[in-house]
Structure 1
Amino acid sequence: MKNNGNIMMGIMVLIVIVIVAVTTLSLGCAENGNITGDVNDTGNGIGDDTEYVYRTAAVEEVDVRILESFPVQVHVTARGYLPDGCTVVNSNATSVQREGNTFNVYLETVRPREAMCTEALVPFEQNIPLDVYGLERGTYTVNVNGVEETFELTTDNVLPE
């Protein structure tokens, strides 16, 4: 009968250890606050009262694609890295401004201020359409956070009337 008491005590200790482990892991995941989408994405598990850190995205490469259509459409693909596993590109803050023949594109990152994150670089790729309708033929420059690439329109980008 004494063996049954020891077995029951061992089972109870094991159950307590499992409960503590599951609770600890659950709390750690809830505090982590990893974002997998946009900041305003309702599925990210972060409340509206979370403070965020905003920074300029580290862009390493810019590709310009001219789509085979008329009027011509131009898309820019920016590639770079994020500093940790909690940081995402804030697509809500992406801005494109044209000054003459230069398109200035600004990409911003965002992360929860107090989040515990993996300390590993995470690659990203962001696609940005440019409004090129009505532009005259010529060479244009795209500047994404300091990384530049050029493209050429061989004809005026206007539908004939």
Structure 2
Amino acid sequence: MKKRFWIGGLLVLFSIVASAEQVPVYDESTQTLMLPVVDTVEQRGKYQDAVLQHLEDNRWRIVSGREGVLIRQAYQPRGQVHSIDGAAYVEFSGYFGSGCEALGLIRQHRYQHRIELVAYYEDAPWMHEAVSCTTALVPFNKELQLDLTGLAAGVYEVTVNGFSLGSFTLDAEHACSTSCNWVPLHEPFLASSGQLNVPVVNTQGQVGAYHSLVFLPTQESGILQLLRADIGVQMQVLKAEVALSQSFPVQAKLTVSGQFSCYPPGLIEVRRQANVFELAVLRSVLPDTVEPNEVDCAQSLESFERTVALDIHDLDAGEYTIRVNGMDYGSFQLAQDNRLP
């Protein structure tokens, strides 16, 4: 059964697709753009598994996708938060109301001194058609590591779908200084006007191949107009080093450094494929009113350094390669499975 809902005043028909990656991916062979998650101002992760098909004249058709279904609070009675060496982990558990229900997407959102988790059901036939489900309560348990990048020292409350799980304290030693700039997750965002912003897009062969995409609604149902899309231009990276924590579970931070002229570093996109972490360090896009002098740029080199956290929680023991802007910069080793018992 297909599902209808409104987006920016347009009635869009969505069916069900599946996607394994949380970052938008453009398939050059089929000219389709896959958006695993789309946020709105009211709800993180509200739309999921959307697929756009390129037509012509920068027009794109919404061919599939779905609206996420939030897990009911009644089935989230327990939870705990614990912190280790500057990292915070959340564990919450409860009961599903039937054997058909399962835990799906979980999104993180920061609001002042609160980290809000938004948890959805896994997409399944029971959401769209009449199916037979067992009525027994089915227990579930989920553990995940919170993204603390850029947070100042202090006490932070953690909630899931409005239910408080507890709080943790981030001390000054592991907190971000006042000069630290936090960059939010690069997720697509749908404005109330119907404008769709896609911060970054990967292709099979390149991380961060495109960025700053802007789609506008049209008078045609389910058709969007691509207003802007920038090609990702990689920075000159000279060095990349991984630092592993002494605590368990192990944490990993990658520091990249290099040089630039006129165009400072912008987005840093990370993806993991098997045992390879691929990073794209892209240069920023200057405002249209700024036209740098190429001669002056060539004579003015500045250094940059950026540190990003690698998501290695729950990884198996083994060796993991670091690849930045297409070049390998060594590897790191996990001596044991990186998960709490």
**When the two structures are superposed, what TM-score results if normalisation uses the length of structure 1?**
0.60
Give 2:237's aligned residue: 59
Q: Which has the higher helix share?
A: 1
Match of 2:292, SS state, is coil
Give 2:335's aligned residue: 154
Give 1:81's aligned residue: 259
State the 1:150 CA deviation. 0.3
Give 1:138's aligned residue: 318
State the 1:147 CA deviation. 2.9
Higher RCO (Cα < 8 Å, 6 or more apart): 1
The list of structure 1 runs, each at least 4 consecutive aligned residues, that deviate by more than 6 angstroms after superposition, is none
Which residue of 98, 107, 126 maps to 2:272?
A: 98
**Amino acid of the structure 2 residue aligned with 1:94:** I
1:53/1:102 Cα in 2 relative to 1: closer, same or farther (>3 Å)? closer
State the 1:141 CA deviation. 0.3
**Amino acid of the structure 1 residue aligned with 2:264:** V
State the 1:89 CA deviation. 0.8
**When the two structures are superposed, what TM-score results if normalisation uses the length of structure 2?**
0.29
Q: Structure 2 CA distance, aligned partners of 1:87 and 1:53?
A: 14
Q: Which has the higher strand share?
A: 2
Q: Structure 1 CA distance, aligned partners of 2:308 and 2:279?
A: 9
1:54/1:96 Cα in 2 relative to 1: closer, same or farther (>3 Å)? closer
Query: What do the CA deviations read for 1:98-148 (whole angstroms, capped 9, x no partner)?
Result: 100000011101242513555311111111110000101110001011232
Give 2:157's aligned residue: none
**Amino acid of the structure 1 residue aligned with 2:334:** L
Match of 2:233, SS state, is strand
Aligned residues between the structures = 108
1:63/1:126 Cα in 2 relative to 1: closer, same or farther (>3 Å)? same
1:121/1:111 Cα in 2 relative to 1: closer, same or farther (>3 Å)? farther
Which residue of 97, 110, 116 maps to 2:284?
A: 110
Q: Structure 1 CA distance, aligned partners of 2:324 and 2:278?
A: 6
The RMSD of aligned alpha carbons is 2.5
